[in-house]
Amino acid sequence: MVYLDYAATCPVYPEIIKNVPEISEKYFFNPSSLYRPSVITKKFFDSVRNSLGIFLSCKSENILFMSSATEACNTVIKGLDYTRRTKIVTWPLEHSAIINTLQKCTSAGMSASYAINNKGYIEYKDIKDLIDHNTKLLVLMHVNNETGSINHIEEIAEKVKKFDNQILIFSDIVQSHAKIHINLENIDFACISGHKVGGLKGCGVLYVKNKDILRPLIDGGGQEFGIRSGTENTLGAYALLEGSTITRAKFRNHWDHLLNLNNMIKDHCKTMRFHINSPENRVPYIFNFSTMKLPSEVMINALSSKNIYVSSASACSGKKKSRVLTSMGFKSVIVDTAIRISLHPDTEEDDIKYFLTELDFAVNHLSF
């Protein structure tokens, strides 16, 4: 099997699978109960939170565990008070968890302004005319999940705070967490997904600088500092932390390997005259291109028959056309034939060679 869809989900690391029985058996107790095994479970859960805080260079109380990054996005956008400031500034290339939530919320009194350009990434100059003293929130992802483009969110956040330090900054760091560094100093909210870093599905994190400004979406027993009620997912939290630690080490130690794989695909695309959709300002582990000859779904099925697994857009898009590529202004033929490759340090050169061989075969034999 050649798996090239790590941006959709990452296989659970063997080191985590190995420890699942022990963690599940030893810490299955409800952390909110008062008897000794529950107290021990609570201490373990708190130690995971503290370690993740150290990992992100923040305080442990800034870490809120949730079911997913999607829940985190909803919690921020729906949980703020828009009485005095009603404007949100973002761009069309955000994840569906942001875009669809904003579309629901704008009918409830808030307004959304979208920065538009065809570069595939945002700079401060692209948003400076949109932000004003009515702006409540700037939403800007760190790394785009379809093209791998990088928004230099730290620099943008610093400049926005200098303009008006009351503007809140929210960054989706799902595709960058544990892979490239981010300084959260000027960022008020950030979301993380455990299964993107070799952890378990069903556990995410919301980084919150100031919990007092958020209203909970889920009411109940008051877990997660009263922001997200529900019995804590101890195993999921452990797997997210462990996956983050393993991912950081792998990406640090094999960055040049990822660059080499990326260049192999890029050079091949140039030779075959495929259209490269990812901008130069990108991470090496996500690459988007279009064959211009074969519809994405046909190509994905052809490769799948050879046990090669790629995607055409965000996994959340299903069979819909890529909103990201469409928003970047690409023609239909580019959007309709797009392929996204997402790599991991465990990806081998032979995997890419095999993929490129079968890609060419499909283009040459299935194209009309």
Q: Which residues are catalytic?
A: 316
DSSP-based three-state secondary structure for 101: helix
Q: Residue 152: CB partners within 8 Å, gap ≥ 6?
A: 123
User: Among candidates 260, 232, 147, 249, which has minimal Cα distance to 198?
Assistant: 249
Burial class (CB in 10 A: 0-12, 13-18, 19+), 224: buried
Contact between 92 and 323 (Cβ < 8 Å): yes
Tokens of 176: 């960058």
Contact between 239 and 16 (Cβ < 8 Å): yes
Q: What are phi and psi of 135, to 5 degrees?
A: -80, 125
Contact between 314 and 141 (Cβ < 8 Å): no
- Nearest-angstrom CA–CA distance, 348 and 38: 44
| Sign of the alpha-carbon torsion through 274, 277, 279, 283 | negative
Which residue is it, tokens 């009263």? 226
Contact between 137 and 77 (Cβ < 8 Å): yes
Give per-residue burial for 126-155: e unless 16+ CB within 10 Å, then b. bbeebbeeebbbbbbbbbbbbbbbbbebbe
- Nearest-angstrom CA–CA distance, 305 and 21: 34
Tokens of 368: 């009309």
